């Protein structure tokens, strides 16, 4: 950490700064310039924060050398992390293909959709049992019954399942049925929920908030990692924009940025990012091309009857086509779709 002192700092203030930071266990290196005096701190940066140091008289600015997301940064783990979800690897050249309807629906429909997406190449089945909706009058999910349907469908087709948790009171129940727990965009900075999920030791799919910066996303991951849960997969699903042609602004550059900052795997969700079936295939391919470790796509066999988000779902045949395109593109980068545990 580097402290920049005010240009008019007095000798007494300088001495006080030195004594204060040394009392925190830091060694100091003083450098005097023509216009500025710089103080380098050597030691454990977790013992204080830039905000606390800024309160010391004579301090003009504090510049962290290490990023605040100490466990999520590359310095903490130089090699890319590989997260294993029910036998499916994500990261390190292994692609996750997460697919399924937005919401868990009746068993027969869930079974039909699972059969189609798994045959196409999906290795993780998804469906929301608890749905955080903008309107309180919209379908909110089937709850525990939905968890049971999702679990049974995944077991029948030999794939792990992922579903969202929206409340700390439901974390244990979701962890009982799901192989991976999703934190949705609306809850990305629900720190109590992040902490609770981190303690389950289940792999976590953390979606970027609709107005969140990349650092916000990594700091949210830090909450989960700080609880001892190292199995975190990030997800770029679009942020709020001003253009009405897409549901959100698909920040494809964020994938490459995260790859440069963090060891955590990151996947893309072109379904929520664009909200348009015609844009999902090209945006999915763009995500793989820029370095994503997988793709999250909503699929439904009859979108007009879907309980939620039908307009942005691909039909099974469309999903099969994009899976084949992803498989071919991934081969160019030396990556493969991780096989599901039930694959022959």
Per-residue pLDDT of the chain (344 residues; tens, 9 = 90+): 889 999 888 889 999 999 999 998 888 888 887 778 888 888 877 778 888 999 999 999 998 877 888 899 998 888 999 999 999 999 999 999 999 999 999 999 999 999 999 999 999 999 999 977 677 767 777 899 999 999 999 999 999 999 999 999 999 999 999 999 999 999 999 999 999 999 998 999 999 999 999 999 999 999 999 999 999 999 999 999 999 999 999 999 999 999 999 999 999 999 999 999 999 999 999 999 999 999 999 999 999 888 888 889 999 999 999 999 999 999 999 999 998 887 65
Same domain, 80 and 125: yes
CB atoms near residue 284 (< 10 Å): 29
In a domain, 46, yes or no: yes
**H-type alpha helices, 55-137:** 107-120
Whichever domain contains 136, its CATH number is 3.20.20.70
Handedness of CA 81, 237, 135, 144 (dihedral sign): negative
Contacts of 244 (CB under 8 A, 6+ apart): none
Segments forming the whole domain that contains residue 288: 74-337
Q: Are residues 58 and 80 in the same domain?
A: no
Q: CA 319 to CA 312: how far, in whole Å?
A: 12
Q: Measure CA 124 to chain center.
A: 16
**84 and 59 in one domain?**
no
- Residue 7, judged by CB atoms within 10 A of its CB (0-12, 13-18, 19+), counts as exposed
Q: Is the same domain home to 19 and 78? A: no
> Do 8 and 133 share a domain, yes or no?
no
Residues in the chain: 344
Which of 10, 36, 63 terminates a domain? The answer is: 63
With contact defined as beta carbons under 8 Å apart, do 153 and 161 qualify? yes
Give the global pTM. Answer: 0.86
Final residue belonging to a domain, choices 63, 95, 113: 63
**CATH for 23:** 3.30.70.1140
Q: Are 212 and 288 members of one domain?
A: yes
Dihedral angle, C-alpha 300, 303, 309, 314, nearest 10 °: 50
Residues 309 and 257 in one domain: yes
> Tell me, what's the pLDDT at 343?
61
Asked whether residue 79 falls in the same domain as residue 222, the answer is: yes
For residues 12 and 95, membership in a common domain is answered with no
How many structural domains compose the chain?
2
- Report if residue 344 sits inside a domain: no
Among 333, 342, 326, CA closest to 96 = 326
pLDDT at 138: 74
Identify whether residues 240 and 302 lie together within a single domain.
yes
Both 156 and 261 in one domain: the answer is yes
Are residue 140 and residue 254 in the same domain, yes or no? yes
In a domain, 165, yes or no: yes
Q: Which two tokens stand for residue 192?
A: 């109590």
Number of Cβ atoms within 10 Å of the Cβ of 23: 8
């Amino acid at each position: 950490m580097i402290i920049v002192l005010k240009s008019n700092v007095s000798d007494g203030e300088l001495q006080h700064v030195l004594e204060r930071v040394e009392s925190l266990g830091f060694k100091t290196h003083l450098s005097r310039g023509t216009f500025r005096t710089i103080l380098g701190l050597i030691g454990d940066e977790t013992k204080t924060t830039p905000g606390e140091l800024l309160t010391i008289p004579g301090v003009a600015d504090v510049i962290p050398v290490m990023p605040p997301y100490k466990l999520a940064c590359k310095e903490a783990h130089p090699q890319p992390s590989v997260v294993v979800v029910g036998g499916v690897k994500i990261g390190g050249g292994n692609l996750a293909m997460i697919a399924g309807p937005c919401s868990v629906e009746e068993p027969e429909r869930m079974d039909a959709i699972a059969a189609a997406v798994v045959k196409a190449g999906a290795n993780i089945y998804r469906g929301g049992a608890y749905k955080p909706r903008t309107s309180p009058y919209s379908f909110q999910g089937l709850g525990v019954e939905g968890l049971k349907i999702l679990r049974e469908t995944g077991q029948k087709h030999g794939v792990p399942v992922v579903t969202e948790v929206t409340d700390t009171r439901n974390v244990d129940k979701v962890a009982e049925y799901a192989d991976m727990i999703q934190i949705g965009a609306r809850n990305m900075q629900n720190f109590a929920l992040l902490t609770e999920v981190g303690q389950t030791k289940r792999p976590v799919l953390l979606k970027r908030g609709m107005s969140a910066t990349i650092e916000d996303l990594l700091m949210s991951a830090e909450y989960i990692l700080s609880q001892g849960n190292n199995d975190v997969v990030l997800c770029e699903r679009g942020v709020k924009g001003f253009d009405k042609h897409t549901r959100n602004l698909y920040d494809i550059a964020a994938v490459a940025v995260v790859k440069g900052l963090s060891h955590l795997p990151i996947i893309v969700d072109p379904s929520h990012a664009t909200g348009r079936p015609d844009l999902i295939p090209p945006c999915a391919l763009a995500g793989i091309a820029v370095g994503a470790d997988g793709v999250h796509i909503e699929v439904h066999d009859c979108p007009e009857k879907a309980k939620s988000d039908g307009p942005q779902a691909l039909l099974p045949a469309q999903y099969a086509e994009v899976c084949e395109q992803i498989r071919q593109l991934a081969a160019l980068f030396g990556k493969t779709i991780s096989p599901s545990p039930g694959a022959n």
